[in-house]
Amino acid sequence: MVQIDFYELLGIERTADDRTIKSAYRRLAMECHPDRTGGCKDNEARFKEITAAYDCLKDPQKRAAYDRFGHAAFQNGGGGGNPFGQQGFDGFSDIFSSIFGEFMDPRGQRQNAGRGADLRYDLELTLEEAFAGKEARLEVETLARCGGCEGRGSRGDARAATCSTCGGMGKVRAQQGFFMVERLCPGCQGSGQVIADPCLACEGEGRTLSQRTLNVQIPAGVDEGTRIRVAGEGEAGIRGAGAGDLYIFVHMKRHPIFEREGTTLVADCPVSFTAAALGGAMTICGVDGKPVEMKIPPGIQSGEQLRQRGVGMTILNGRGRGDLVARIHVETPTRLSAKQKELLAAFRDTETGEECPASRSFFTRIKDMLGA
């Protein structure tokens, strides 16, 4: 049987350092891993070969023997046996896990075993509350630390015992074909311990369902969809494990005057046609309750906007405020006295068409279209 050189298998130079060897194995293992290639037998055989090569070259003593004697170093008892030592191919799962552990167990299940779940709380605020910030009082029903056993899960002075199923590791291994798969231990749910005499109040979990009241500071400037994390205020963990987090999702109530666009507040402001024609001023009550005065330039049209800087919403986690925008709507009067009608009729008699250039331009185009 022809045996391929380990360095050639990994595609590296004989002078490669440990980091290069590890990187080469990692890349090739991901390419020909049977789980990624539909269980292809050829890829499975290649995976065995590159794993054998890596196991040899990552060990300084094995590598030195291989560099001197080649494959003969691991044959007929020479140089310390096969490149897997006493493990044989049973060491595949350990080798692969050491290289790809962060992918195989991305959530760190062992470290987080028994951790309490995160909670969500939907909080509705008025625009004024979002502007100024507030201390919100939240009523949350959640699993909290058991008072009867102080979170231990055991009754009286009884202590938790090491789980016999997993030996306290919190995980069990099962063979699935060629690979060894790790799962949370079903006996202890990943905690590594079992309760012989469980607390009657919490049935050994170390937590019970209860109503809690929390006071949470909501910062000024929050908006629809803002998420606030309160660390450690979620569900309590099993038997003293870490608690989850509380996530507050902000929702905004509809305001009778203002629309919000980020830190800008927009208000639709009707003005009389005389104020629009002659100019003037108007006063708007800001979100902080203070009056904001805006000047109306003569000849303003519907749809035009007036902007007052620095009197809008508070900037979240920043300094200053956004702007306030008045969106103008020129209002045509519907109730006129006889005197007003007389004055308007006299004004109409004096119109030359130059007073409203947009209207004049529009009707001129209409005449051109009609050929008049």
- How far apart CA 63 and CA 249 sit, in angstroms, is 57
How far is Cα of residue 185 from the mean position of the Cα atoms in its chain? 29
Cβ of 134: how many Cβ atoms within 10 Å? 18
Cβ proximity of 191 and 161 under 8 Å: no
Rounded to whole angstroms, the Cα distance separating 53 from 83 reads 8
| 278-282 own/partner pairs: CB under 8 Å, 24+ apart | 282/326
The region that residue 98 occupies, defined by phi over 0 for left and psi between -120 and 50 for alpha, beta otherwise, is alpha
The annotation status of 32 as a binding-site residue, yes or no, is: no
Q: Rounded CA gap, 89 and 274, in Å? A: 92
Is residue 43 a contact partner of residue 32, using CB atoms and an 8 Å limit? yes
Contact 105, 232 (CB under 8 A): no
List the structure tokens of 59: 């060990």
What is the spatial distance between Cα 135 and Cα 215, in angstroms, rounded to a whole number?
A: 6
What are the residues whose beta carbons fall under 8 Å from the beta carbon of 12, sequence distance 6 or more? 20, 21, 24
Q: Where are the alpha helices (DSSP H) in the chain?
A: 6-10, 18-32, 41-57, 60-69, 92-104, 109-112, 127-132, 273-278, 338-350, 357-370
Q: Is 202 annotated in some ligand binding site?
A: yes
Residue 166 annotated as lining a ligand binding site: yes
List residues forming the annotated binding site for Zn(2+): 146, 149, 163, 166, 185, 188, 199, 202
Binding site residue list: 146, 149, 163, 166, 185, 188, 199, 202
